[in-house]
Copies of this chain bind each other. A is one copy, B any other.
Amino acid sequence: MIDLSKFITIDKPSTQPVYLQIVNHIISLIKSGVLLPGVKIQPSRDLSKMLNVHRNTVVASYNELHAQGWITVRARKGCFISPTLPDLNPVLLKPDQEKRASYPGHTSFAIDYKLKNELLQQYPSGVSKYVFNEGFPDVRLTPLKELLREYQVIGNRKSARKHLSYSTKEGSLRLREELVKMLRQSRGLNIETDNILITKGAQMAIYLTASLLLKPGDHVIVGEPSYFIVNAMLDRLGARICRVPVDEHGIDVDAVARLCESTPIRMIYVIPHHHHPTTVTLSADRRLKLLDIAAQYKIAVIEDDFDFDIHYENRPTLPMASSDQHGSVIYIGTLTKIFAPTIRLGYVVAPQNFIRLIGQHRVMVDLQGDNLLEEAMAELFVNGAIERHLKKIRSLYKERRDLLCKMLSEQLPGIANFTIPQGGLCLWVTFKGVDTKAISKEALRNGLFIRDGKNHNPPDKDLNAMCIGFASMNPEELREAGQILIDAVLSCMDKG
């Protein structure tokens, strides 16, 4: 009989219960071949003395091992490692298979899809002291503890289990109810719960809408520049992309009207609140005109309103969807920008017939959402945690916006040109007399990673601008990182 106690060490401060530690130790002894099938092991009484733990603990371990089939108990003979261990010997299809060196590196079939520029939302870590992203929230402010508390509360309820099985494709009714309340109050959307479908972030909401509506060859209008990941998606879906200039009042609606006269436009993608990446707000008269055009030509308008909640002026402009009398607008929002990127919750707001069809479409893409997360998030709306968080980040991000704007305008007048954004998480800065590629390179040498912004360039045009996210750094970090950027610009000017 092998002395088990020699192989088992108990880690009392561990978060894992002692009985499970014993179970896991014994299983790994079996798997590694130390304990062979049929071998007798110590009675629980002996092992508990040897390990200096309560006997009931070892009894619990043995019960678990027995339930899992690792050990058998024979009356008056004791405990034995099970002679038949189910999982250890799966059937090999071919006897020589284990000799195979490695998994095939390439598919044998052709893939009609080329790897273009990487569409990254992630930034390198560890290569620089600071990173300017293109507009991420500060996840250090995320009310994570509040979210986890709601998980616990739901998990302890008797009704918890019903949130674990298949649920509706439109998402938790409770969260939809809370979103409807919030959208009615803040955005003037006169909607009911059958006007909304919860998705995995705004990205999936846009994808579902575009892939439901577009056939290869369909024409879509976007701003120039516009959100590069959506451009890549439209391209991937086979759409013909028609670019329309964006000025300080948003996209040029007269240019949209002219295009619609000559071309059968299927869809228009706009970001009226704060156009990405240039952060401008679409003016009220252009919004109304765009709605008229959409109704006249029966065009679908995707209104991407990813950062409505993050506004720094007192009176935010309501979305176009709130004035849509004809059912032209598919309104898209998200909680990831206010909460955390990993919390994949976005939504589509649209007339009922569209929501029903997009529901069927989403079943094929991923069946349904994470109901447990949706229920927990609903509680954060109910108890006011979301609203408190919003108030907090609006005030903090405003401070950060103002700090960065002040530094740039004081130290780089005429070189770094921008309009102060009324909301959102980033600044769109056009550089004069210095190339952003050089700035980016010089900044990295001094401990700051910042993209050169060329990813926002339309085909055959260099905007020479950077999208600088100010929200995810606190003032101290922002001052340091901002100074590295400014010094890099000045240093490039000298060299140039």
Cα distance A99–B317 when bound, in Å?
18
A300–B103 CB distance below 8 A: no
Give A190 to B99 CA distance when docked, in angstroms. Answer: 10
Is A236 in the interface zone, CB < 8 Å from B?
yes
Interface pick from A115-123, A411-419, A448-456: A115-123
B68 touches A340 (CB 8 A): no
A13 within 8 A of B: no
Partner among B195, B201, B315, B340 whose Cβ is within 8 Å of the Cβ of A164: B340
Tell me the smallest distance from the CB of A130 to a CB of chain B, in Å. Answer: 15
In the complex, A467→B328 CA distance in Å? 42
In the assembled complex, how far is the CB of residue A400 from the closest CB belonging to chain B, in whole angstroms? 16
Contact stretch, chosen from A38-46, A141-149, A251-259:
A141-149
| Per-residue B-contact encoding for A132-148, CB less than 8 Å = 1, 0 else | 00001001101011001
State A68–B200 Cα separation when bound (angstroms). Answer: 29
> Could you say which of B84, B148, B372 contacts A342, with CB atoms under 8 Å apart?
B372
B residues less than 8 Å from A392 (CB atoms): 67-68
B93 engages A284 (CB within 8 Å)? yes
Chain A's interface size range is 35 or more
Residues of B within 8 A of A144 (CB): 155, 160-161, 164
- The answer to whether A115 touches B341 (Cβ under 8 A) is no
Is residue A178 within 8 Å, beta carbon to beta carbon, of the partner chain? no
User: With A105-B351, A108-B327, A109-B299 given, is the CB distance from A115 to B357 under 8 Å?
Assistant: yes
The interface bits of chain A over 95-113 (1 if a CB of B lies within 8 angstroms of the residue's CB, else 0) are: 0011011111111111111
Residue of B nearest to A345 (CB): B370
The segment from A181-189, A239-247, A436-444, A480-488 that touches chain B is A181-189
The answer for the CA separation of A449 and B383 in the assembled complex, in Å, is 37
Could you say which of B189, B340, B352 contacts A165, with CB atoms under 8 Å apart?
B340
Taking a contact as CB atoms closer than 8 A, the residue among B118, B151, B364, B371 that contacts A229 in the complex is: B364
Give Cα distance in the complex from A92 to B190, angstroms.
13
Cβ B161 vs Cβ A142 within 8 A: yes
Contact B327 A342 (CB under 8 A): no
Q: A94-B323, A113-B212 are in contact. Are A24 and B383 (CB under 8 A)?
A: yes
Q: Is A275 in the interface zone, CB < 8 Å from B?
A: no
**Which chain B residues border A16 with CB–CB below 8 Å?**
383
- A2-10, A73-81, A287-295: which lies at the B interface? A287-295
A27 at the interface (CB under 8 A from B): yes
What's the nearest-Cβ distance from chain B to residue A126, in Å? Answer: 12
- Give the distance in Å from the alpha carbon of A212 to the alpha carbon of B186 in the complex: 39
Contact of A93 among B20, B169, B287 (CB under 8 A): B287
Question: In the complex, A242 Cα to B153 Cα: how many Å?
Answer: 50
Chain A stretch 358-374: residues in CB contact (< 8 A) with chain B: 360-361, 363-373
Are A100 and B341 neighbours in the complex by a CB distance under 8 Å?
A: no
Docked pose: A195 CA to B107 CA in angstroms: 12
Instruction: Please tell me which one of the listed residues B116, B360, B388 contacts residue A115 in the complex, with CB atoms under 8 A apart.
Output: B360
20 other A-B residue contacts (CB within 8 Å) besides A115-B357, A229-B363: A23-B388, A69-B391, A90-B317, A93-B284, A97-B188, A106-B327, A106-B352, A107-B327, A113-B357, A122-B168, A122-B169, A148-B155, A151-B151, A199-B366, A200-B366, A204-B367, A236-B361, A236-B364, A342-B370, A344-B369
